[in-house]
Chain A
Amino acid sequence: MTTSFRAMVRKDIQMFFTDRRAVLMSFVAPIVIASFFGYIFGGQSGQTAPTRIPILIVDQDGSAISRQIVAGLMADQTLDGKLSSLDAARTAVRKGKAIVAILIPQGFGADAGRALFGAAQKPEIGALYDPSHATELAMVQGMLAGSVMESVGSQVGAQVRLAMPYSVRQEAITSGSDTAYNGYAHAFGGMGVQFILFMGIEAGIGILLQRQRGLWSRLRAAPLSRGALLGSRAVSAGLIAMLILLVLFGFAWLVFGVRIEGSLVGFLGVCAAFSLMTATFGLLIAALGKTPEATRGLAIFATLVMVMLGGSWVPTFVFPQWLQNLTVAVPTRWAVDGLDAMTWRGLGFAASIAPIGVLLLFSLLFGVIAVVRFRWEADA
């Protein structure tokens, strides 16, 4: 590496660390936000109490059957059940204080017993629910079904005790049977990807600023190749990106117990490939942008779309299938999936090959477009 190339890389890194705002945005901001998201999305499983679904139960029947149903629901560890009046329940659901209110109508116990063995009309149990929590409604309905079957069966004198004919043994499939899921792993990966791309934008904008301030003229006046000029920028941005990722995961390792449960080589490979992609993304911005001011807003918008579709904010499996299929064309999806695979999923090196390969292909694509479209000439 020549003196000039080293100097350009060193200067870029020096400039990055003299900019307090850039350092804050690249290191502190993702740590703060990832810590928050990590906690919200499960934190370190086993160390935090599982969130219970708040429900209200309105028992208008007061029969032995309904009282047993109420007791069953109240005893369920996944539910936070409380008795309520109908009006209070309706108000609580509307205000979001409760997700579901179960309404057991008068006469339910008697009607349910008859409906169990005969052709009598089935009584209705009302469910008032918060429409933004439809998933939880389905869970509560399942638990309610079990409780009703058990209560009705035992109270109507059935010869055979009715109960759910199975139980569920739950096992979270992570890196190993003894390793709990760590929500911080995904959060730090996702936020790292997002904020590193922001850094990439700033690296690109930096070139535009250099052009605007005449610095680019001074660089171009020196006997330096175009490859050296852009390559040094890519190397410096790549090194900074790699450093940010390592610091973020280092912090997550120290504070939240995030571990590289999969292949360390694969993890470093994904980090390096994503860092390179970020660097070429910055060059692309410098090549396509006109002025720093106009370019920054557009680039941030494009990045936010990319990280959103890539699963940095919420995992891609919650997307509709067509959108999940679409996001394979988004490089951040591969970065996030690759980091997930090497951290909490605990997959081997083979699982990192596809993300690394795709990220390198995106790097190549961005790099080629940047070189072809770069405005080498001095502005008129």
Chain B
Amino acid sequence: MLEAKILKKSYGTVVAVDGVSLRAAAGETVGLLGPNGAGKTTTVSIIAGLTRPDSGEVFINGKPLRGDTDPAKREIGLVPQDIALYDELSALANLEFFGALYELSGQTLQRAIAEALELVGLAARVKDKVKTFSGGMKRRLNLAAALLHDPQILLLDEPTVGVDPQSRNAIFDNLETLKKRGKALIYTTHYMEEAERLCDRLIIIDHGKVIADDTLQGLFRRLPVTNLLAIELQPPEAGPWIQQLQALSEVRSAEMCDGVLKVGMHGLSEGAPKILQWLTDHGHSYQHVVSERADLESVFLTLTGRSLRDS
């Protein structure tokens, strides 16, 4: 449905996007993950036709996107990072305007507005001015404005910045509904939790380059461990038995830290029972067990050597 090939864009000597390629199919959510300034927004701008790439092309349904008035732009719905709404106008006036930009009018436009408002749960506030909305409601209306022309591809540039958890969850629900309807979603974020929850596939960008493009599971497989079992032993004794534990096929690492045995593994459901059984069989009793899962932060750290939040 959407394909971008080897996109490059520089501003003076600053390389913003350096050979980014991506694709998104119908019903797929692709996350663009990276720190601020990584090139996510520039990539989205190029795909949306706002920025001309120095090289590379964007294809919509196999056809290259050409020029400002290319009808293929109707297949794209852009949800900008900013709340791109007219505060002084009502929600209805905003949506009528943004729908009209795609030549929608009359009953078609009103039907599209009703559907979009119903999806984002703002039908009751349709006549209110946007300036009276909360931040979360504005974000939802921001999303609705991109849906009026029924685009097949949605470009969501950090659509939950600055919203409360409740509104964020509401937006997630909206996006999951859209995905079920067969939309292709490109979702930029630097919130790992969002990417993990929403995205089928993740493209990690750093310094304008794609450093990984895989499913969440695929990215986790690149890690030395995907799960960590923290076991408080009673008594907390280290010993040569730890090497024996490491010899188990499920175990990737094992060490005692401050009286807690930390065992790294791939696959908690298979590994954890065997490890706990092994400890019992070898006379080690435990009073508390906690499991930790690797996250995208770990992935980014492994791939770049830097923390995502610190980048």
| A residues neighboring B (CB under 8 Å) | 2-4, 6-8, 11, 14-15, 18-19, 213-215, 217-226, 377-378, 380
| Complexed CA–CA distance, A18 and B93 (Å) | 12
Most chain A CB atoms below 10 A, which of B50, B78, B89, B145: B50
Given A213-B84, A215-B84, A377-B52, do A221 and B100 touch, yes or no (CB 8 Å)? no
| Smallest Cβ-Cβ distance to A7: which chain B residue | B100
Binds A, one of B101-109, B243-251, B277-285: B101-109
Instruction: Give B88-112 as 1s and 0s: 1 = Cβ < 8 Å from A's Cβ atoms.
Output: 1100010011101111110000000
Given A222-B73, A378-B45, A380-B16, do A3 and B104 touch, yes or no (CB 8 Å)? yes
Within 8 Å of chain A (Cβ to Cβ): is B51?
yes
Q: Is the CB of B42 within 8 A of A14?
A: no
| Smallest Cβ-Cβ distance to B155: which chain A residue | A221
Q: Is the CB of B97 within 8 A of A7?
A: yes
Q: Is the CB of B100 within 8 A of A3?
A: yes
| Smallest Cβ-Cβ distance to A221: which chain B residue | B78
Residues of A with C-beta under 8 A to B11 = 380
Residues of B with C-beta under 8 A to A8 = 97, 101
Q: Is the CB of A221 within 8 A of B52?
A: no
Given A220-B68, A378-B45, 13 extra CB contacts under 8 A: A4-B103, A7-B100, A11-B86, A15-B88, A213-B83, A214-B82, A214-B83, A215-B84, A215-B85, A221-B49, A222-B73, A225-B68, A226-B68
Residues of B with C-beta under 8 A to A18 = 88-89
Q: List 12 A-B contacts (CB under 8 A).
A: A2-B103, A8-B101, A15-B86, A214-B80, A214-B83, A215-B84, A218-B146, A220-B68, A223-B70, A223-B102, A224-B101, A377-B52
Of the residues A19, A218, A224, A226, contact of B78 by C-beta under 8 Å: A218
Q: Is the CB of B50 within 8 A of A378?
A: yes
Given A4-B100, A4-B101, A11-B86, do A223 and B78 touch, yes or no (CB 8 Å)? no
Instruction: Give B20-61 as 1s and 0s: 1 = Cβ < 8 Å from A's Cβ atoms.
Output: 000000000000000000000010010011111000000000
Interface size class of B (residues with CB under 8 A): 35 or more
Of the residues A3, A19, A214, A226, contact of B88 by C-beta under 8 Å: A19
| Complexed CA–CA distance, A172 and B69 (Å) | 59
Most chain B CB atoms below 10 A, which of A6, A18, A214, A226: A214
Of the residues A14, A213, A220, A225, contact of B82 by C-beta under 8 Å: A213
Of the residues A3, A6, A220, A223, contact of B50 by C-beta under 8 Å: A220
Q: Is the CB of A217 within 8 A of B97?
A: no
| Complexed CA–CA distance, A223 and B105 (Å) | 16
Of the residues A2, A213, A223, A378, contact of B73 by C-beta under 8 Å: A223
| Complexed CA–CA distance, A4 and B105 (Å) | 9
Residues of B with C-beta under 8 A to A214 = 80-84
Residues of A with C-beta under 8 A to B100 = 3-4, 6-7
Within 8 Å of chain A (Cβ to Cβ): is B71?
yes
Most chain B CB atoms below 10 A, which of A11, A217, A224: A217
Most chain B CB atoms below 10 A, which of A19, A226, A378: A378
Within 8 Å of chain A (Cβ to Cβ): is B74?
yes
| Complexed CA–CA distance, A3 and B100 (Å) | 6
Q: Is the CB of B48 within 8 A of A221?
A: yes
Query: Smallest CB–CB gap between B282 and chain A, Å?
Result: 60
Q: Is the CB of A3 within 8 A of B86?
A: no
Of the residues B51, B68, B84, contact of A223 by C-beta under 8 Å: B68
Q: Is the CB of B89 within 8 A of A15?
A: yes
Within 8 Å of chain A (Cβ to Cβ): is B261?
no
| Complexed CA–CA distance, A214 and B86 (Å) | 11
Given A15-B89, A224-B68, A225-B69, do A217 and B80 touch, yes or no (CB 8 Å)? yes
Within 8 Å of chain A (Cβ to Cβ): is B14?
yes
| Complexed CA–CA distance, A245 and B229 (Å) | 78
Residues of A with C-beta under 8 A to B231 = none
Q: Is the CB of A222 within 8 A of B84?
A: no
Residues of B with C-beta under 8 A to A218 = 78, 80, 84, 98, 101, 145-146
Residues of A with C-beta under 8 A to B104 = 3
Query: Smallest CB–CB gap between A214 and chain B, Å?
Result: 3
Query: Smallest CB–CB gap between A99 and chain B, Å?
Result: 52
Query: Smallest CB–CB gap between A181 and chain B, Å?
Result: 43
Ranked 7 nearest A-B pairs via Cβ: A214-B82, A7-B100, A214-B84, A222-B101, A221-B78, A214-B80, A378-B50
Residues of A with C-beta under 8 A to B105 = 3
Residues of A with C-beta under 8 A to B86 = 11, 15, 215
Q: Is the CB of B84 within 8 A of A4?
A: no
Residues of A with C-beta under 8 A to B78 = 217-218, 221
| Complexed CA–CA distance, A221 and B100 (Å) | 13
Within 8 Å of chain A (Cβ to Cβ): is B203?
no
Residues of B with C-beta under 8 A to A380 = 11, 14, 16, 42
Q: Is the CB of B16 within 8 A of A221?
A: no
Residues of A with C-beta under 8 A to B70 = 223
Within 8 Å of chain A (Cβ to Cβ): is B76?
yes
Residues of B with C-beta under 8 A to A219 = 101
| Complexed CA–CA distance, A19 and B105 (Å) | 26
| Smallest Cβ-Cβ distance to B49: which chain A residue | A221
Q: Is the CB of B82 within 8 A of A377?
A: no
Of the residues B42, B48, B93, B98, contact of A217 by C-beta under 8 Å: B48
Residues of B with C-beta under 8 A to A226 = 68
| Smallest Cβ-Cβ distance to A4: which chain B residue | B101
| Smallest Cβ-Cβ distance to A219: which chain B residue | B101
Residues of A with C-beta under 8 A to B88 = 15, 18-19
| Complexed CA–CA distance, A380 and B40 (Å) | 11
| Complexed CA–CA distance, A3 and B98 (Å) | 11
Q: Is the CB of B76 within 8 A of A378?
A: no
Residues of B with C-beta under 8 A to A7 = 96-97, 100-101
Query: Smallest CB–CB gap between B130 and chain A, Å?
Result: 11
Query: Smallest CB–CB gap between A159 and chain B, Å?
Result: 86
Query: Smallest CB–CB gap between B200 and chain A, Å?
Result: 24
Q: Is the CB of B45 within 8 A of A222?
A: no
Q: Is the CB of A14 within 8 A of B84?
A: no
Residues of B with C-beta under 8 A to A217 = 45, 48, 50, 78, 80, 82, 84
